[in-house]
Copies of this chain bind each other. A is one copy, B any other.
Amino acid sequence: MTPFPPSLERVITSLEKLPGIGKKTARRLGFFLLTAEKEYVLEMAQALQDLTKYIQFCEICHSIAEGSLCEICQDPHRDRGTICVVEEPADIFIFERTGFKGLYHVIGGVLSPLDGVGPDDLNLQDLVKRAAEAREIILAINASIEGETTTLFLTQLLADQNVKVTRLARGLPVGGNLEYVDDLTISRSLTERVSVTDG
Q: Which residues of A contact B (CB under 8 A)?
A: 1-8, 10-11, 13-15, 17-21, 25, 27-29, 31-34, 38, 40-55, 64-66, 70-72, 88-90, 93, 96-97
Contacts and interface: CB of A to CB of B under 8 A. Distances in A.
A41 B31 contact: no
Given A2-B93, A64-B34, A8 B51 contact: yes
A72 B66 CA distance: 47
Given A6-B66, A28-B19, A54-B5, A47 B14 contact: yes
A172 to B, nearest CB: 23
B51 A11 contact: yes
A76 B71 CA distance: 61
Contacts of A71: 3, 5
B96 A7 contact: no
B7 A18 contact: no
B51 A48 contact: no
A96 B4 CA distance: 11
Given A17-B40, A29-B19, A50 B10 contact: yes
A52 B48 contact: no
A6 B67 CA distance: 12
Closest 10 CB pairs of A and B: A14-B44, A10-B47, A45-B48, A7-B50, A45-B45, A5-B66, A11-B47, A31-B90, A45-B49, A3-B71
A19 to B, nearest CB: 6
Contacts of A15: 44
Nearest to A88: B31
28 contacts: A1-B96, A2-B93, A2-B96, A3-B71, A4-B93, A5-B64, A5-B65, A5-B70, A5-B71, A6-B66, A10-B47, A11-B44, A11-B47, A11-B48, A11-B51, A13-B47, A14-B44, A19-B29, A20-B25, A20-B28, A20-B29, A31-B89, A33-B51, A34-B55, A38-B52, A41-B49, A45-B45, A45-B49
